[in-house]
Chains A and B, each alone.
Chain A
Amino acid sequence: MKVELRNLTKIFPSRNKKSGEEVIAVNDFTFTIPDGKLIGLLGPSGCGKSTTLYMISGLQKPTSGQIFFGEDDVTELSAENRGIGLVFQNYALYPHMTVKQNILFPLQNLKGADKLPKAEMLQRAYEAAKLVQIDELMDRKPGELSGGQQQRVAIARALVKMPKVLLLDEPLSNLDARLRLQTREEIRRIQKETGITTIFVTHDQEEAMSISDMIVVMKLGVVQQTGRPQEVYDDPTNLFVAKFLGTPPINVFAGEVKSEKLYIGGVAVLDVPGVEDREVTVGIRPEGFVPDANGPLVCKLNSVEVMGRDVSVVSTHASSLNPIVRSIVNSDYRISSEETVRYSLKSHKVFLFDRRDETRIRF
């Protein structure tokens, strides 16, 4: 099912009545989520991504704007009638019920024509459990399960009624690092198998990039950029998006453009055709540095961290806006000097941003 958000806005009234300041959690969000895709809503905490998810679920009402499921306007429809599946951050499994009872619960709520015979309910519960590989644990209580298992039960409970849309709120945040990797692949697999349009919320860019068909990057309630993960990474629209995506993070320098050349620390490092003379903020991806004995960018070497296939070079530069400059270079390269390291730059890994409003300046 296609999900369409039109000018979705959510304003929370101020807690402090005297100041009367409202909080705009989500501001004019317009986006169409194609049928059967996995979408990651990404942003730092407080950016409105969870609010957006809860508005899609119907648990929160938008202040203005519309939500469409397919061709149907569901904006005024309550959560009960939207037919969505929702996996809560803390899973919200009913602690007094067994896994089986938890998964059966949504089916037992079906009324009228949708009502299922007992045998079929049980069969569907077992199918859902098999899909997330917890069919061995059906008689346990949630308290007797690990975080990863609870998470699967929550997904099974959300899937069992065959929702039109599956929503996941920070689904991996309660899992340890190893389980997180495993479970995100699992979510991807389940989503592919069922073909259900899935929207998940995360603050972890790596998580979003690795499994999403599309990502939506948000900041302070405003959508910054949407697109396929690689596109957004390779072509950020502003400094925030560039900084938010990528590990290790992008290196940021103060720079200046003079006669179509980019200067960092008074040295011309790159040709930037078509950019008029101005002061800029320069973002360089760690993989954008090429060690070069005659390279223009000279950094003071701090340390070299060998990571097997790649080498991470930590250095400093006077014009860097971060404390360190981190580059990822091929391990074939040997650092010769012990004091400095010289780089030339890959121009498609270098982004220029307006010094003031931080928007992208393309070249």
Chain B
Amino acid sequence: MVESKHKWKAWLYLSPAIVLLLIFTVWPIINTIRMSLLVDYSTIKETGGYAFDFGIKNFVRVLNYPKFLNCLKNTLLLCVLTVPLSTILALLIAVCLNAIKPLQRFLQTVFFLPYVTNSIAIGMVFSAMFNIIGNNIGSSTQLITTAGIINNIIGVFGVDPINWINAGSSYWANITVLVVYIVWDALPFKILVLLGGLQSINRQYYDAAKVDSTPRSRVFTKITVPLLSPMIAYVVITAFIGGFKEYSSIVGIFGDGMGPAGDKGRLNTMVGFIYDSLAASQEGLASAAALILFAIIFVVTMINLYVSKKKTHY
């Protein structure tokens, strides 16, 4: 315990961090709550001396807004699809990486590269890959043959080209591209965490399992996964939080129109909705939406923690 006469010293040492947190974290949160509760709040009106009514009307409006509900649906769908997929894939890749000796460091670097690459840039690469239009735009029949690499690859297997992301593409084609992109983008961090976890598991457990003639599948399910469960829980929780904040991946592939040409806004997400509201000087709506997003993330994280407490061995 700190003696009381030294308490001021503790506060002094903490003060830089506290001051920064107050200015850049605590005050914005308070201000967000304030703005969300002032009906139709906007900074322009406030500077003009407008007096706002106080109430929850912003929330009611956001929740009744079809655009917002569409954003909520897109966000939830992407979360539910990408989190399990990326976690399972990352686990398999990490286990494989951990099992091989030669080239392990090299491959580790390869798998980590996407993490240090700008996600907008990766998005543009993906949009080129999934495009139906190649570099040489010719007549309408020539379009397909010069399409992006994905359509060329599936063409080899005799599958008709699919309109993935261009004007007139279907919603599910768009979602498929997004899922592939988000999973691919999420892999490096998860692989890194899980591989670190795998390497910290004592080899003796595997030797013991070997002596007891344990089949490989059982070693994986009964030893590796339980011993890795704290890492898996961490990866899943952060993936959900990241998933609810999904935004830049859609911008990367579809541009800030948040949808294929001709159907802008179709793939918008919660964060996208907040940005749009801010751009339209509707800070009150944006704040309410941000708090709703916070509430959802909070509840989902609580559920995650509750489940992982029961299933995780620490």
Contacts and interface: CB of A to CB of B under 8 A. Distances in A.
A306 B129 CA distance: 89
A84 interface: yes
B202 interface: yes
A81 B204 contact: no
21 contacts: A59-B207, A59-B210, A59-B211, A80-B214, A85-B211, A88-B204, A90-B204, A92-B202, A94-B223, A94-B226, A96-B226, A96-B227, A96-B229, A105-B212, A105-B214, A106-B213, A108-B218, A109-B214, A109-B215, A110-B213, A161-B212
Interface residues of A, number: 25
Interface string A161-182: 1000000000000000000000
Which A-B residue pairs are the 3 nearest by beta carbons? A96-B313, A92-B204, A106-B212
A347 B222 CA distance: 62
A59 B212 CA distance: 12
What class of interface size applies to chain B in its complex with A? 10 to 19
A155 to B, nearest CB: 13
B39 to A, nearest CB: 53
A226 B24 CA distance: 75
A57 interface: yes
Nearest to B207: A59
Nearest to B227: A96
A5 interface: no
B212 A94 contact: no
Nearest to A160: B212
Nearest to B211: A86
Contacts of A110: 213
Interface of A: 57-59, 78-82, 84-86, 88, 90, 92, 94-96, 105-106, 108-111, 157, 161
B17 interface: no
Which secondary structure dominates where chain A touches chain B?
loop
Contact of A92 (B207, B214, B222, B226): B207
Contacts of B213: 80-81, 106, 109-110
B205 interface: yes
A109 B223 CA distance: 13
B211 A57 contact: yes
A336 B17 CA distance: 77
Nearest to B223: A94
Contacts of A57: 211
Contacts of A96: 226-227, 229, 313
Contacts of B208: 86, 88, 92, 94
A157 B205 CA distance: 13
A44 to B, nearest CB: 23
Contacts of B223: 94
Contacts of A161: 212
Of the listed residues A84, A85, A86, the one surrounded by the most CB atoms of chain B closer than 10 A to its CB is: A86
Contacts of A78: 210
B215 A79 contact: no
